[in-house]
Amino acid sequence: MSRLLLFPVLTWLLASAAAASPPPVAVTEVSPGIFVRQGLFEDATAENDDAIANIGFIVGPQSVAVIDPGGSRGDGERLRAAIAAETDRPIRYVVMTHGHPDHIFGGSAFLPDHPVFVGHQRLAGELVDRGAYYRRRLVEILGTERAGDWVMPSLLVSDRAELDLGGRILDLQAHGAAHTDNDLTIFDRQTGTLWAGDLLFVERVPAIDGSLTGWLEELGRLKALPATRAVPGHGPPIVPWPAGADDEERYFGTLAAEIRALLARGGDIETAVAQIGLGERDKWRLFDDYNGRNVTVAFKELEWE
Amino acid sequence: MRRIVLIAALAVLAATAAARAGEDDGDRRARWSDLRHAVFGDRSLEDGAGIITLDAPPRALDAALVPITIDLPGPAKIQTLYVIIDENPSPLAGTFHFGPAADPRELRTRVRVDAYTLMHAVAETEDGRLFVAEKFVKAAGGCSAPSTKDAKLALERLGQMKLKQVGEGPPGQGTGLVQLLISHPNFNGMQMDQLTRNYTPARFIQDVKVTRGDALVFDLAADISLSEDPAITFAVADKSPVPITVEVHDSADATFTQSFEVPGNGI
């Protein structure tokens, strides 16, 4: 049985290896040894290859950790080429900050490196649960060949963990429900850099797929870290910390205050969707695509307070 | 570890091979034709214009929580209201039987929608005529979406209820609409437990009975298509201070009962 299982996967791996390597994507070294490829302020399209999230890697004395392998096979392969252009140290870890497709569908591009795939304890369930749905949606946009695949994490973080890149220690923190219910952040001790993943959106409007109050709580924890800079999941490749969280906190605070006031007046969810948060409209990219859903998620949370 | 990778890769391959159905308008018409015969037999359904309207967002923001509003402006006296979500695994989402204490002019609830679907609301009058309203909704995945993000909280809050005045306005001058919120995960057996990776056994609300004193407001026979933490907004017929009692029965044979003073200073 296991041989039967192995065969198609091996064929696929060999085929991938035989294909011409794509050119490396441009990355910015935001801190010594920390490289970020900035994502586009768009949703996934056939043209952008789902290269819409900030992804990158951290180079240690002995090995490399990928932080989010990208949104598609091509996105992952181009990041892999960028790593090869930068260092010949092996890719030891592929860390997934959460289970959304724009961050993880490049995962299969790193299988030839045999890294340890790392994620939040709840990421495994998230992938079993929604992974096939995410893949189907991405295939509709990119086609089967270009979509790529996520890889199930084998190192699961329930609270904290350390990754050692050969003397360079990364502190991993698993979070409570916030952006999703499987958010993982990375703190690089050497440079005081927080890789915040999608707990931090800058310029692009945040998307709530977990909990509004939980997200505010987790932001408070992150602000207490001795970090001076942060890599957002969407936005510029690097922002000052904790000041970089100001806009996001203001937006969430506005949603919470306006929804609570509406609830006190007897307003229902339809009214909330039509009215809440509109003062923030000019301050964010893709606002109209996400604000209504954010309000829905926040409303059903806050109506039980 | 390699085995995990292989299993994951194969799971994805298998899942992507699954076919999709019910994509075009002809399929949707055929589906409704089957459904209406299953629910109403050979009885004729009349155009509901002026009798019943069904409103829902044309594109749902969250497929696991699609707010719907049914208006029954009268004067026809409505005895029963059926809500049908054609493409859902269990299409008959709810049947409301109205009692003498009901004022069925407006009713709102929140439902799950699993695929782009036609939705139907059918009003049955006291003299047995059926009137139908229809709406097309673009939403997908609402039945299998793991909407509960905090299973522990959901269990602690299980069966808790709230009844509050809705419709914006100062206290005492509201619209006469009250909203019942019931904390219940309404598991439909299609969501995955995130830790055990087993499917969460179905546990959903089957019956919601609302009375005022001894008089029935409505009795709702529900199914797995109601959203998590179901919400039902309804009108209260008179201004008397008689408390409203809610009795909820779920598929695990649990019963939750709570009584409320009518909120909002005697609406």
The CATH number that applies at residue A20 is 3.60.15.10
Q: Does A113 lie at the interface with B, CB-CB under 8 angstroms?
A: no
Burial class (CB within 10 angstroms; exposed 0-12, middle 13-18, buried 19+) of A162 = exposed
Quick one: tokens of B133?
Answer: 């309203």
Split at pLDDT 50, 70, 90, the class of B150 is low
pLDDT for position A60? 98
3-state secondary structure of A55: strand
Split at pLDDT 50, 70, 90, the class of B261 is confident
Q: Does A274 lie at the interface with B, CB-CB under 8 angstroms?
A: no
The answer for residues whose C-beta is within 8 angstroms of residue B173's C-beta and 6 or more apart is none
- Residue ranges of domains in chain B, CATH in brackets: 21-266 (2.60.40.2470)
Measuring CA to CA, which residue among A172, A251, A122, A124 is closest to residue B150?
A122
> What is the CA angle A46-A51-A55, rounded to 5?
165
- Residues A257 and A299: beta-carbon distance below 8 Å: no
In a domain, residue A214? The reply is: yes
Domain extent at residue A135? 15-246
pLDDT for position B14? 30
Helix, strand, coil shares, percent, chain B, to 5? 15, 40, 45
Terminal-to-terminal C-alpha distance of chain B: 63
pLDDT at B63 over 70: yes
Contact list, A295 vs chain B (CB under 8 Å): 61
In a domain, residue A185? The reply is: yes
In a domain, residue A270? The reply is: no
In a domain, residue A297? The reply is: no
pLDDT at B18 over 70: no
In a domain, residue A256? The reply is: no
In a domain, residue A180? The reply is: yes
pLDDT for position A22? 85
Split at pLDDT 50, 70, 90, the class of B265 is very low
Calculate the alpha carbon distances from B33 to A230, B29, B45, B94, B132 in Å: 57, 6, 11, 19, 13
Split at pLDDT 50, 70, 90, the class of B154 is confident
pLDDT for position B1? 39
Q: Give the nearest partner residue to B194 out of A5, A126, A297, using CB atoms.
A: A126
Quick one: tokens of B158?
Answer: 């299980």
In a domain, residue A53? The reply is: yes
Q: Does B159 lie at the interface with A, CB-CB under 8 angstroms?
A: no
- Helices A246-264 and A287-302 pack at an angle, to 10 degrees, of 50
- Residues B100 and B74: beta-carbon distance below 8 Å: no
- Residues A126 and A99: beta-carbon distance below 8 Å: yes
Looking at this predicted complex, what is its ipTM?
Answer: 0.78
Contact list, B18 vs chain A (CB under 8 Å): 132
- Helices A212-223 and A287-302 pack at an angle, to 10 degrees, of 100
pLDDT for position A13? 52
pLDDT at B240 over 80: no
Chain position carrying tokens 């695509």: A289
Q: Does B153 lie at the interface with A, CB-CB under 8 angstroms?
A: no
**A157 backbone dihedrals φ, ψ, rounded to 5°:** -105, 120
pLDDT for position A12? 53
Half-sphere exposure of residue B143, counting CA atoms within 13 Å on the CB side?
20
Contact list, B17 vs chain A (CB under 8 Å): none
> What is the CA angle A208-A211-A213, rounded to 5?
115
Q: Write out chain A's pLDDT in tens, 305 residues.
A: 444 455 555 555 545 544 557 899 999 999 999 999 999 999 999 999 999 999 999 999 999 999 999 999 999 999 999 999 999 999 999 999 999 999 999 999 999 999 999 999 999 988 987 888 889 889 999 999 999 999 999 999 999 999 999 999 999 999 999 999 999 999 999 999 999 999 999 999 999 988 999 999 999 999 999 999 999 999 999 999 999 999 999 999 999 999 999 999 989 998 999 999 999 999 999 999 999 999 999 999 999 99
Q: Give the nearest partner residue to B61 out of A152, A181, A296, using CB atoms.
A: A296
3-state secondary structure of A269: helix
pLDDT at B200 over 80: no
pLDDT at B180 over 90: yes
Strand partners, B135: B119
CA distance B136 to chain A (A): 17
Residues 46-105 of A with CB under 8 A from B: none
Return d(Cα B217, Cα B104) in angstroms, integer.
9
pLDDT for position B8? 40
Q: Which residue has the higher pLDDT, B228 or A164?
A: A164
Q: Whole-prediction pTM value?
A: 0.84
Alpha helices, DSSP H, located in B18-54: 25-40
**E strand or H helix at B259:** strand B255-260
Which of A203-207, A257-261, B17-21, B173-177 comes out lowest in average pLDDT? B17-21
In a domain, residue A204? The reply is: yes
Measuring CA to CA, which residue among B17, B13, B1 is closest to residue A7?
B13
Distance of CA B99 to the CA centre of its chain: 19
Return d(Cα B98, Cα B49) in angstroms, integer.
21
Number of domains in chain A: 1
Contact list, A129 vs chain B (CB under 8 Å): 144, 146, 191-192, 194
Measuring CA to CA, which residue among A112, A157, A152, A114 is closest to residue A131?
A152
Locate the chain B residue with the closest alpha carbon to A294.
Answer: B61
CA distance A31 to chain B (A): 32
Return d(Cα A92, Cα A48) in angstroms, integer.
28
DSSP state of A211: -
Quick one: tokens of A305?
Answer: 């307070």
Split at pLDDT 50, 70, 90, the class of B19 is very low
Measuring CA to CA, which residue among B93, B82, B90, B143 is closest to residue B115?
B143
3-state secondary structure of B85: strand
Which of A6-10, B71-75, B244-248 comes out lowest in average pLDDT? A6-10
Question: What confidence tens digit (pLDDT) does each residue in B81-116 have?
Answer: 999 999 998 899 999 999 988 888 889 999 999 888
pLDDT for position B74? 77
3-state secondary structure of A172: strand
> What is the CA angle A305-A263-A256, rounded to 5?
65
Terminal-to-terminal C-alpha distance of chain A: 52
- Residues B163 and B145: beta-carbon distance below 8 Å: no
